[in-house]
Amino acid sequence: MSYSKAIVVQYRRNINIGVVDTTISNSHSLSDLDLGSINQIIGTLTEVISNPNGAFIWGSEQIVIDSDSINSKITDEINGVTLSNTSTISLLNLMVEIKNFKEQYQIPSNLKNIIGQAFETIKSNPHNYKRWPTSDTDFSTTIDNVYVSLVLTSDDLNLPKNEYLNQLKTNF
């Protein structure tokens, strides 16, 4: 398992917080779940793993996961294609990682701290932090092993850090 963690701030200051296991197809969509759902999934997966006859069908809008005590089959819900099979323990570990990351960064002070660092880094030399050479609004950097992506207009780059941070939508 290899986790990638990301915080993405969209144009209208909406924020996505997520973790991806690069070995599990479409695992990014599991970060779309809210903390309440994530906690329920963790509890149910823990029960399923401890019960040889246990089974649980779960997922997000994009993927459906059919888990038993050992393996889980992941299906692309949109295209009806089986994406992969993975161990149920690996999925449980991913869900715990997503939970911990979301809990850490749904605290507004933690979130604003890391986004503020990214904003200042990007603002200091925007050309060096473009996500794509042809984009004038998509920037990214890595802070403390977290990939941070910000959509910033030229006007945004003129804002003081605190003014930019106060525009973030931090209600989760």
Q: How many residues does the chain have?
A: 172
Residue 6 clears pLDDT 90, i.e. is over it: yes
Instruction: Check: CB of residue 54 under 8 Å from CB of residue 48.
Output: yes
In angstroms, how far is CA 52 from the centroid of its own chain? 31
Phi, psi torsion values for 46, nearest 5 degrees? -60, -45
Q: In the structure, what pLDDT confidence band is assigned to residue 25 with cuts at 50, 70 and 90? A: confident
Global model pTM greater than 0.85:
yes
Measured CA angle at 33 (ends 29, 34), to 5 deg: 155
Q: What is the spatial distance between Cα 21 and Cα 14, in angstroms, rounded to a whole number?
A: 23
Which uninterrupted H or E stretch holds 110? helix 108-124
Direct distance between the N- and C-terminal alpha carbons of the chain, in angstroms, rounded to an integer: 27
Given the DSSP bridges, would you call strands 3-9 and 146-151 parallel, antiparallel or unpaired?
parallel
What is the dihedral sign for C-alpha 24, 1, 36, 41?
A: positive
Q: In the structure, what pLDDT confidence band is assigned to residue 77 with cuts at 50, 70 and 90? A: confident
Instruction: Check: CB of residue 38 under 8 Å from CB of residue 102.
Output: yes
Residue 1 clears pLDDT 80, i.e. is over it: no
Per-residue pLDDT, 34: 96
Residue 163 clears pLDDT 90, i.e. is over it: yes
pLDDT in tens, 79-126: 888 888 999 999 999 999 999 999 999 999 999 999 999 999 999 999
Which uninterrupted H or E stretch holds 65? strand 63-68
pLDDT (mean) for 153-158 = 96
